[in-house]
């Protein structure tokens, strides 16, 4: 692998650790200030809406400023938002600060995935994106262990530490990552058609992840599990995601990403259906572990599949489309699931997720033998140069 890929992996870890910091720190800050559910919804929605805006801005700015500069700016905006978060006087001020962080996250995620798609070869693209997602997940899991201790010492100091992580990532990118300037082509119906499956998959992942993280703990408590058992079950899902990330993405490089993606979606629908029907702790723990192993890699597989069907000029637009779909899924998941639960009861908690998993599994399944191979998908693209035929280390002026 190219040395620049390892720098991007480190940046993924730092971004995940910072997000793990902020998830608990913001919850503790909201509790101290007695914010309600509506207030928390406003803060969360502001963040994810600006992720969508940031992704769209990244596509417009990539030809003029390059991927590296966008990545540095995105990480810097996130660092500034982290420092300002405990200083926001009211909920609207906190929502505005989180919106700034969402704008930075949109730029950072889109630029980082565009760089990964450009630097990885078609033969190991799934593995590369799997390592990046694994690094992010490890950081996401490590952040909550350190964040509360720093918050107990000083809330502003805790948020500043999260900002320092992002600022350090920006320094690494500016020093060690070579710039890649591309000239994106305008999105066409052909490009949109080739991205339908990856966009659907990453939307389902965002929908399921947000619904599980926000509502599943309450569901487990209603099922009679103790708070400690609930924590173990949620940790099992995260551990399963980390354990399955690299093996499954590496497998997709060998047998086809679209086929493995369909397997993950179909298996996820079966396991979430089972989770909604069991109340025994040991069964919940085991099913959560296996569900995490299948659901966790969907995010990386979606980006890898998009990289297979896009050429280098379309990579920023494709990464932005997938990032936007993920953010919209994160917004829609808790809202739609809450409405379904309010109408049909807690037994229907996973009904929207199951329907999306099953329908998109059918959609993603290859219709003919070999249709999901790299060669077949590249042959279905336009005649523009592909990622495997272009030296992306050269700057292409707009």
As a whole number, mean pLDDT of residues 335-349 equals: 79
User: Considering the domain boundaries, does residue 396 fall inside one?
Assistant: no
Question: Per-residue pLDDT for 149 more than 90?
Answer: no
State whether 159 and 193 are in the same domain: no
Residue 386 pairs in a beta bridge with 311
User: Considering the domain boundaries, does residue 388 fall inside one?
Assistant: no
As a whole number, mean pLDDT of residues 70-85 equals: 94
State whether 11 and 132 are in the same domain: yes
**Percent with pLDDT over 70 in the chain:** 84
User: Considering the domain boundaries, does residue 83 fall inside one?
Assistant: yes
State whether 63 and 112 are in the same domain: yes
Question: Per-residue pLDDT for 82 more than 50?
Answer: yes
State whether 121 and 38 are in the same domain: yes
State whether 263 and 301 are in the same domain: yes
> Alpha helices, DSSP H only, in 345-369?
351-364
Q: Report the C-alpha gap between 124 and 103 in whole angstroms.
A: 30
User: Considering the domain boundaries, does residue 387 fall inside one?
Assistant: no
User: Considering the domain boundaries, does residue 153 fall inside one?
Assistant: yes
As a whole number, mean pLDDT of residues 132-144 equals: 82
Give the pLDDT band of residue 384 (cuts 50, 70, 90). very low
- pLDDT digit string (tens) for 3-46? 889 999 999 999 988 887 787 677 778 778 887 756 776 787 78
Question: Per-residue pLDDT for 100 more than 70?
Answer: yes
State whether 159 and 196 are in the same domain: no
DSSP string over 231-285: HHHHHHHHHHHHHHHHHHHHHHHHH-HHHHHHHHHHHHHHHHHHHTT---HHHHH
Last residue of a domain, one of 127, 156, 179: 179
Last residue of a domain, one of 156, 179, 202: 179
3-state SS string for 190-245: HHHHHCHHHHHHHHHHHHHHHHHHHHHHHHHHHCCCCHHHHHHHHHHHHHHHHHHH
User: Considering the domain boundaries, does residue 217 fall inside one?
Assistant: yes
Q: Report the C-alpha gap between 316 and 337 in whole angstroms.
A: 31
pTM across the whole model: 0.75
More confident residue, 116 or 181: 116
State whether 38 and 89 are in the same domain: yes
Q: Report the C-alpha gap between 365 and 388 in whole angstroms.
A: 25
Give the pLDDT band of residue 160 (cuts 50, 70, 90). very high
What is the tally of structural domains in the chain?
2
State whether 30 and 68 are in the same domain: yes
Range of the domain at 248: 188-378
Q: Report the C-alpha gap between 115 and 392 in whole angstroms.
A: 9
Q: What is the CATH number of the domain that holds 18?
A: 1.20.1250.20
State whether 40 and 123 are in the same domain: yes
- pLDDT digit string (tens) for 209-241? 877 766 777 777 777 888 778 778 877 887 888
Last residue of a domain, one of 179, 211, 229: 179
User: Considering the domain boundaries, does residue 46 fall inside one?
Assistant: yes
State whether 141 and 54 are in the same domain: yes
As a whole number, mean pLDDT of residues 199-214 equals: 83
Q: Report the C-alpha gap between 162 and 22 in whole angstroms.
A: 7
Q: What is the mean pLDDT of the chain?
A: 80
User: Considering the domain boundaries, does residue 398 fall inside one?
Assistant: no
State whether 165 and 225 are in the same domain: no
State whether 302 and 168 are in the same domain: no
């Amino acid at each position: 692998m190219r040395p620049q890929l390892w720098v991007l992996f480190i940046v993924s870890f730092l971004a995940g650790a910072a997000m793990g910091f902020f998830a608990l720190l913001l919850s503790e800050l909201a509790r101290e200030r007695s914010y309600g559910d509506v207030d928390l919804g406003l803060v969360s929605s502001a963040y994810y809406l600006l992720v969508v805006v940031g992704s769209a801005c990244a596509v417009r700015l990539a030809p003029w400023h390059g991927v590296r500069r966008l990545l540095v700016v995105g990480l810097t905006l996130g660092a500034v938002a982290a420092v300002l978060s405990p200083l926001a006087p009211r909920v609207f001020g906190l929502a505005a600060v989180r919106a700034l962080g969402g704008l930075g996250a949109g730029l950072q995620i889109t630029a980082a995935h565009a760089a990964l798609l450009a630097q990885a070869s078609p033969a190991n693209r799934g593995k590369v994106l799997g390592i990046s997602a694994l690094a992010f997940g490890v950081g996401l899991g490590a952040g909550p262990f350190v964040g509360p201790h720093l918050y107990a010492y000083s809330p502003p100091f805790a948020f500043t530490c999260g900002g320092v992580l992002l600022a350090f990532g920006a320094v690494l990118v500016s020093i060690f990552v070579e710039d890649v300037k591309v000239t994106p082509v305008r999105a066409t119906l052909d490009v949109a058609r080739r991205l339908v499956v990856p966009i659907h998959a990453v939307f389902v992942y965002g929908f399921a992840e947000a619904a599980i993280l926000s509502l599943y703990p309450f569901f487990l408590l209603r099922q009679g599990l103790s708070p400690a058992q609930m924590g173990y079950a949620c940790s099992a899902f995260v551990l399963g995601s980390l354990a399955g990330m690299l093996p499954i993405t590496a497998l997709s490089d060998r047998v086809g990403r679209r086929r493995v993606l369909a397997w993950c979606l179909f298996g996820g629908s079966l396991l979430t259906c089972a989770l909604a029907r069991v109340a025994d702790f040991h069964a919940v723990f085991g099913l959560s572990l296996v569900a995490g192993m299948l659901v966790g890699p969907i995010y990386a597989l979606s980006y890898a599949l998009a990289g297979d069907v896009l050429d280098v000029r379309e990579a920023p637009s494709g990464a932005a489309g997938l990032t936007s779909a993920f953010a919209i899924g994160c917004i829609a998941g808790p809202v739609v699931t809450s409405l379904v639960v309010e109408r049909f009861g807690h037994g229907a908690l996973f009904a929207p997720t199951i329907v999306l998993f099953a329908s998109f599994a059918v959609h993603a399944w290859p219709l003919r033998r070999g249709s999901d191979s790299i060669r077949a998908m590249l042959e279905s693209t336009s005649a523009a140069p592909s990622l495997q035929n272009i030296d992306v280390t050269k700057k292409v002026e707009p």
